[in-house]
Amino acid sequence: MNKKEAEKSFEEIKRHLIETEEDLRKTGIYAVDIQFLLGILVLVGLGLTVFLLGKTLYNLIWIVWTCILIVGFFFGYRLAKRIPLMTGVTSFAGKLIGMVWLGITISVTLVMFIVWYSGYTPYLESFIALLVGVGFFVEAFVSWKEFLIAAILCWIGALVDGFFPDVTNLVFAFLIFVTMIVPGIVVKIRFRGKEV
Amino acid sequence: MGDFNPAEVNKLIHAPIRLGIMTILNSAKKVNFIYLRKKLDVTDGNLSSHMEKLEKAGYVNVKKTFKDKKPNTVYSITEKGKKAFRIYLEHLEKILEES
């Protein structure tokens, strides 16, 4: 092989790398569906939590959240399994992000059980916001940089939740709307017709 | 690498289509047949024959499943394939440095 051939091969490799990287980034369009679904479920959960708190039915709150986690996990898993079938490609980064969010979901589930055992605390949302912030932080570095804003918002929200427990549900609902529902809509609009 | 002979470059990987396959598989975890066919702009038969060669060499893993009753063939790179691709890149670098 001569230099010219080597250069040509390098160019081919570079082209394929750039194209594959772009396609892998685009698989995030489908992953946003999961976030959107979880966002809606959490907002429903918050609504029910506020309702049950008003009726002083504290013991039912953990049941609501356990149901939401089960439903979220089931449909989230189904949506995640759909991604490689629709795009034809699975990335290491996608797998990593999936595992980070799975870890966060398991952690939140365990927190729910602790809350069920020890009683409701207004700091619950603060703790969950911290965990969700970690998920967005990792995602920002392996997928879209914009998620860094979501991570920072979650951490600021966790602080606000911690210092002002009276408005915890309102702050948490705002966080979920801004970090999960809005990105879902933005990504869908931005990448309409540009799927892999 | 000091006594490297350009003729030693892995010819199995060097062929343009197979180079594309190895590059894509090296950067993605798994890809299916349709994705590769689209990206490399090749026919089914052409891609199948290249994949067969790479599979025989132990560079790729093949998993055949069904999606909506249609076959879905998924490929991934093996450790042997990753190593061969890395060596191939080192050889390319060597050629460019020496020229």
Option in B14, B16, B28 nearest A90 (CB) = B28
Higher pLDDT residue, B68 or B20?
A: B20
Structure-token pair, residue A155: 């951490």
Alpha-carbon distances of A133 from A37, A126, A129, B4, rounded to whole Å: 17, 11, 6, 50
Chain A nearest-CA residue for B96: A3
> Taking 60 as the threshold, does the pLDDT of residue B2 lie above it?
no
By the 8 A CB rule, do A40 and A181 touch? yes
ipTM confidence: 0.86
Note whether B19 contacts A17, CB cutoff 8 Å. no
* Among the partner residues B23, B30, B72, nearest to A90 by beta-carbon distance: B30
Tell me A164's DSSP state: -
Phi, psi (5° rounding) for residue A115?
-65, -40
Q: What is the pLDDT of residue B77?
A: 96
Domains along chain B with CATH numbers: 7-98 (1.10.10.10)
Largest Cα separation within chain B, whole Å, is 53
Q: How far apart are CA A168 and CA A63, in angstroms?
A: 20
Instruction: Find the mean pLDDT for residues A19-39.
Output: 83
Length of chain A: 196
Query: In angstroms, what CA-CA distances link A179 with A48, A56, A176?
Result: 20, 30, 5
Amino acid at A93: A
pLDDT above 90 (res B81): yes
CA distance A173 to chain B (A): 36
Instruction: Give the tokens for residue B70.
Output: 């249609």
Query: What total number of domains does chain A contain?
Result: 1
Band the pLDDT of A61: cuts 50, 70, 90: confident
| Percent residues over pLDDT 70 in chain A | 97
Element (H, E) at B73: strand B70-77
Q: A interface toward B at CB cutoff 8 Å?
A: 1-3, 6-7, 9-10, 12-13, 16-17, 19-21, 23-24, 84-85, 87-92, 94-95, 196
Q: How far is residue B16's CA from residue B18's CA, in Å, rounded to a whole number?
A: 6
Q: What's the rounded Cα separation, in Å, for the pair B21 and B75?
A: 10
Task: Kindly state the helix (H) or strand (E) to which residue B55 belongs, with its residue range.
Answer: helix B44-56
CA–CA gap between residue B64 and residue B75 (Å, rounded): 9
More confident residue, B39 or B97: B39
Cβ distance A129 to A168 under 8 Å?
no
Rounded mean pLDDT of A23-34?
80
Structure tokens at A77: 């898993």
Give me A189's structure tokens: 């609009």
pLDDT at A116 over 90: no
Residue A49 has pLDDT above 90, yes or no: no
For residues A148 and A136, the answer to whether their CB atoms sit within 8 Å is yes
The verdict on residue A196 lying in a domain is no
Among the ranges given (A11-20, A23-32, A171-180, B3-12), the one the predictor scored with the smallest mean pLDDT:
B3-12
Question: Does residue A116 form part of some domain?
Answer: yes
CA nearest to B26 within chain A:
A17
CB A66 within 8 A of CB A111: no
Q: Domain range for residue A13?
A: 3-190
User: What tens digit of pLDDT does each residue of B28-38 get?
Assistant: 989 999 999 99
Q: Whole-angstrom Cα distance, residue B65 to residue B11? A: 31
* Per-residue pLDDT band at A78 (split at 50, 70, 90): confident
- Beta carbons of B30 and A89 less than 8 Å apart: yes
CB contact at 8 A, B39 and B24: yes
CA distance B38 to chain A (A): 10
